[in-house]
């Protein structure tokens, strides 16, 4: 958990980060980095590597495995440490807050900055690596793909998409990005899955969602994972979040994915609010929005 990592930053030394960065670099080509490569990768002497390995292992920032050789890999906490250290050096964040949401593919925390912000840590590939390899197109052409790579690429894609869409589409404001982590504004409201809409609100909320989808299309983007879990409903409108799987409008599957996105929302509303949910054909609405 990143909350366990944050207090460690004050007791970490610069050479510890050299070692963690060296292991990170080695993981670009191997899941377990040969200890014999670490002096070259980290810029530390063999004696310093031994000392830093012990310090980082005691803090659960790295794991050790003996295969044909003695190998080391970063834990999720070790990767979190590198990202938090970079944000602290940039003075993007000054402190950690409470969890805002913890899921299979990401963890989100409140952080202190020039105002309260959200820190999103991508976890794609850390626990469901094979599934991610199948589903994510940015892993398809790489001979060696580590969970660090999939999580970093997901964060890169999401941050780039937020910068592209904000403020024309109602998405969190992007603030900073490093490795698998994004700093963004906190959004108002709760996920649609947890909202309790009054009968007279259902159609209006659906119209607000459709308006944002129309703005996405105008920006040349399909969300590609839209559902009740990544639409926030608040007093000032709706916010669309979770963008790492977004597609360009000219993608071969964009039309089908748009229909699927709309269908996810329509089916959810019809299931939860059967008397007041809109009677919409997702295929027809997708066609209309794409005109």
Determine the Cα–Cα distance for residues 200 and 284; give it in Å rounded to an integer: 24
- In the 8-state DSSP scheme, what is residue 172? P
Q: What is the CA radius of gyration of the chain?
A: 21
Looking at per-residue confidence, does 38 or 95 come out higher?
38
Catalytic residue among 225, 242, 250, 261: 225
Determine the Cα–Cα distance for residues 111 and 126; give it in Å rounded to an integer: 23
pLDDT of residue 132: 46
Domain 2-77 CATH (choose: 1.10.10.10, 1.10.275.10, 3.10.150.10, 1.20.1250.20): 1.10.10.10
Per residue in 199-245, pLDDT tens?
Answer: 999 999 999 999 999 999 999 999 999 999 999 999 999 999 999 99
Q: How confident is the model at residue 129 (pLDDT cuts 50, 70, 90)?
A: very low
Is 256 noted as a catalytic residue in this protein?
Answer: no
- Which stretches within the chain are classed as H helix? 2-5, 14-26, 38-42, 46-58, 76-90, 129-135, 147-165, 202-218, 254-272, 282-289
Of all residues in the chain, the percent with pLDDT exceeding 90 is 83
Task: Give yes or no for residue 269 having a pLDDT over 80.
Answer: yes
Classify domain 91-185 at the CATH class level.
alpha beta
Classify domain 190-289 at the CATH class level.
mainly alpha
Per residue in 58-97, pLDDT tens?
Answer: 999 999 999 899 999 999 999 999 999 999 999 999 999 9
pLDDT of residue 145: 60
């Amino acid at each position: 958990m990143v909350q366990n990592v944050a207090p460690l930053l004050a007791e970490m030394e610069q050479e510890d980060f050299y070692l963690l960065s060296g292991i990170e670099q080695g993981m670009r080509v191997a899941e377990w980095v040969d200890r014999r490569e670490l002096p070259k990768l980290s810029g530390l002497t063999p004696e310093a590597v031994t000392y830093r390995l012990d310090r980082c292992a005691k803090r659960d920032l790295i794991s050790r495995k003996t295969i044909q050789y003695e190998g080391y890999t970063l834990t999720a906490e070790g990767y979190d440490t590198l990202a938090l250290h970079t944000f602290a050096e940039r003075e993007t964040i000054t402190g950690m807050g409470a969890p805002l949401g913890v899921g299979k593919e990401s963890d989100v925390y409140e952080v202190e900055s020039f105002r309260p912000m959200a820190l999103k840590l991508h976890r794609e590939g850390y626990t469901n690596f094979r599934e991610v390899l199948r589903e994510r197109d940015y892993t398809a052409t790489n001979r060696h793909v580590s969970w660090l790579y999939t999580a970093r690429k997901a964060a890169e894609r999401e941050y780039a998409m937020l910068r592209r869409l904000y403020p024309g589409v109602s998405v969190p404001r992007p603030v900073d990005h490093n490795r698998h982590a994004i700093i963004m504004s906190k959004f108002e409201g709760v996920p649609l899955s947890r909202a309790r809409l009054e009968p007279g609100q259902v159609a209006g909320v659906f119209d607000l969602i459709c308006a944002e989808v129309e703005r996405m299309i105008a920006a040349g983007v399909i969300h590609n994972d839209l559902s009740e879990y990544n639409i926030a409903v608040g007093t000032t409108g709706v916010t669309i979040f979770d963008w790492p799987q977004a597609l360009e409008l000219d993608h071969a599957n964009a039309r089908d994915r748009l229909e699927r996105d709309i269908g996810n929302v329509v089916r959810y509303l019809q299931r939860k609010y059967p008397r007041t949910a809109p009677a919409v054909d997702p295929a027809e609405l997708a066609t209309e929005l794409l005109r």
